[in-house]
Amino acid sequence: MLSGLVAILRAKNEVDILKTSDALAAGGIRQIEITLNTPGALDGIQLVRERFGDDIVVGAGTVLSTDDALNALDSGAQFLVTPVLLPEVVSYAVSKETPICCGAMTPTEIYTAHQCGADYVKLFPAGSLGLSYIKTILGPLPFIKFVPTGGVTLENVGEFLQVCPAVGVGSNLVDTKLMLDKDWRGLTRLANQFVAAAKTR
């Protein structure tokens, strides 16, 4: 099950997924979501699983169909993330006993995701909606396990983790320039900073 920081690896251009994962792991990251619209995502998921075994939990993001989910699971993904409310994908994940984080924003979408069987609700863009939005929703729906994503920073990660089991952090952590420049030490330093900030919750 997801807990704490989930690093989101998303890139338009081809990047070294394995070395990126190595750098994140060296910085203390233990959960990585690789989005399926990243070049080589499925192979990357398989490589990370082979390299780290159970030391790193790796999942597939931007899952848009049951075919995407099937391919991700075949590659070794241990959890799935959808960007929007997709009941059929949630049902498929439930049938495969695979944790799924379903994208939703409005109260109706959030509750529907839960009713469909989603383990977590990915709230995006969390940075714009803010912590107060999450707290307001948790009033009538205290059983929702939010994973705020989009706009999670070093400054607010600890605050989000005070009320949420996990957060998804994309480009603020898995910096595209650092990946393209192969600045693995820089990526590890950034991961260390986020891990430290998360512990302030």
6 closest CA partner among 142, 107, 120: 120
For the chain, list the domains and their CATH numbers.
4-198 (3.20.20.70)
Burial class from Cβ neighbours inside 10 Å (0-12, 13-18, 19+) for residue 94 reads: middle
Question: d(Cα 69, Cα 75) in Å, to the nearest integer?
Answer: 10
102 closest CA partner among 8, 180, 31, 88: 88
pLDDT in tens, 39-86: 999 999 999 999 999 999 999 999 999 999 999 999 999 999 999 999
pLDDT in tens, 147-177: 999 999 999 999 999 999 999 999 999 999 9
Q: Which residues are catalytic?
A: 33, 122
CB distance 172 to 149 below 8 Å:
no
pTM score, whole prediction: 0.96
Question: Mean pLDDT throughout 14-23?
Answer: 96
